[in-house]
Amino acid sequence: MFLNRCFRLCNGCCRVVYSGRKREWRTLTGYRTAKYANTTVVGLCATVVPRHHFHSDLGDLHNNECVQKYLQQLMEEYRDLGRKLQHDHLSESDRKVLSRRQTELLPVALLFESVQQALKDQEEVTSLLHSCTGVKDEDKLFAQQLKEEEEQISQKLLSLRKDLVKALVPTDPLDPSNILLEVVSGRTTGGDICQQFTREMFDMYQGFASFKNWDFDLINYTNAEYGGLHHAAARITGENVYRHLKNEGGTHRVQRIPEVGLSSRMQRIHTGTMTVIILPQPAEMDVHIDQKDLRIDTYRSRGAGGQSVNTTDSAVRIVHLPTGITAECQQTRSQLQNKDTAMRVLRARLYQSMLGKESEQRLASRKQQVGSRSQSERIRTYNFSQDRVTDHRTGYTTRDIKEFMRGGEALQNLISDVLEHAEMEALLEEVENSKQPKASGQSADHRSQ
């Protein structure tokens, strides 16, 4: 089943309608806006060249009329802040608030001025070029120099406009965070193909962590039959880990002829799924956990790991009684180390649960205006028989699936494409939300956040 993403951009307003998973983004206007990452595009692309179903890149959004109005709105706010800061009667607290906001808008203002100056230079060169109508060799040489300069200014304008649009993209405050990665095998009649695929996916992300020079610390690993994997968890730490992997969360589908297990005897293409869970672990995670709300169980570890691991009650399971959220760890021989790791996992899951509840509350009124959004059944398909990986949110398709599963440059290219599309959607969403408070009377609520 495919879901259509439809962008309706009109001259008077900017309405964006698409389907997917919600997440909160902080925007230049100070509001919080929903992030819909798991949007799905109709059709499976059969070519190696990735297809872009709306704007080809961020720079193209500069010419969008709604984006231009939003930009002018920010520039007027920046100029107004400058006028207010010149007043002597401002209190120290008000001055700090206005100065902080002016600092936030400064990069956009500088890029906007650079674009305006480049446009003036381009207009001047074009005017000189039109007035250069002589037939002498000196006139021809001068005209050629003007054409070269005009081309350089045009290229500079393209670059500046793309940088300007990037500066408008809402920033996710969780982008610098480390993450907790979990992979879970799907439950289908062909369970062995799901378990084998889950192991391959976990290995792929471990390879990607190595490719990015990130640290990959194993937390939990539950083996299945025929070399598969029921569930595994790892903590990945490094530079902007969450920014790169936040869009990997969701259901991944595999289509292949199984190589081992009961399903391999049929020698036909089977379809299976597995789920990737990405939980951010920010440096400052304000989650209070009362010890009386916890139930801590110890048990013997399962699977391989050495005699001491399997003969002592070193594994730890922690249950948060008010929410029912559970975390467990059995990776080391030390019960204390496993308990500490399980607590970190529990804290991350509780933090994610808190973010989800806050997001639902803030978006309750918005859902009434744009309708509900059903979650996509899968975000990506790995077709081993056709040697193809297709991301259904953007239509991006790549070949050489074995190379892709190594977690190197091929995966990086797909992640970058999905991230760019997500940033476009976030900007369009912010442009739309910047007009809503005036119509819905929610300005006070946004200012209080």
pLDDT of res. 31: 41
Residues 90 and 218 in one domain: no
pLDDT of res. 138: 72
DSSP letters of 371-389? ---PPPS-SEEEETTTTEE
Residue 124 lies in a domain: yes
Torsion from C-alpha of 140, 142, 145, 147, nearest 10 degrees: -60
Residue 39 lies in a domain: no
pLDDT of res. 377: 62
DSSP letters of 114-169? HHHHHHHHHHHHHHHHHH----SHHHHHHHHHHHHHHHHHHHHHHHHHHHHHHHHS
Residue 14 lies in a domain: no
Domain count, the chain: 2
Residues 71 and 150 in one domain: yes
Torsion from C-alpha of 408, 414, 416, 422, nearest 10 degrees: -150
Residues 207 and 150 in one domain: no
Residue 76 lies in a domain: yes
pLDDT of res. 260: 62
Which sign does the torsion angle of CA 47, 49, 50, 51 carry?
A: negative
Residues 402 and 278 in one domain: yes
CA angle at 303 for the pair 406 and 384, rounded to the nearest 5°: 30
What is the distance between the alpha carbons of residues 66 and 432, in angstroms, rounded to a whole number?
Answer: 8
pLDDT of res. 292: 85
Burial label, 386 (beta-carbon count in 10 A; 0-12, 13-18, 19+): middle
Closest CA to 58 of 111, 21, 105: 111
Helix axis angle, 92-131 relative to 137-168, nearest 10°?
150
Q: Which of 168, 201, 234 is the last residue of a domain?
A: 168
DSSP letters of 382-432? EETTTTEEEETTT--EEE-HHHHTTTSHHHHHHHHHHHHHHHHHHHHHHHH
Residues 104 and 250 in one domain: no
Q: Which of 139, 168, 197 is the last residue of a domain?
A: 168
Residues 105 and 159 in one domain: yes
pLDDT in tens, 178-236: 998 999 988 765 568 888 999 999 999 999 999 999 999 998 888 887 778 888 999 99
Residues 134 and 221 in one domain: no
pLDDT of res. 426: 87
CATH number at residue 212: 3.30.70.1660
Share above pLDDT 90 across residues of the chain, in percent, rounded to a whole number: 32
Residue 249 lies in a domain: yes
Residue 105 lies in a domain: yes
What is the distance between the alpha carbons of residues 335 and 207, in angstroms, rounded to a whole number?
Answer: 29
Q: Which of 136, 168, 200 is the last residue of a domain?
A: 168
**Residue ranges in the chain whose pLDDT is less than 50:** 1-27, 29-55, 304-309, 361-376, 438-449
Other beta carbons within 10 angstroms of residue 392's beta carbon come to 24
Residues 184 and 277 in one domain: yes
Q: Taking all residues of the chain, what is their mean pLDDT, rounded to a whole number? A: 76
pLDDT of res. 210: 96
Tell me the residue range of the domain where 245 lies. Answer: 179-283+395-432
- 235, two tokens: 């903590």
pLDDT of res. 376: 43
CA angle at 406 for the pair 402 and 408, rounded to the nearest 5°: 120
Rg of the chain in Å (alpha carbons): 27
Residues 149 and 183 in one domain: no
Residue 387 lies in a domain: no
Residue 440 lies in a domain: no
Residue type, 386: Q
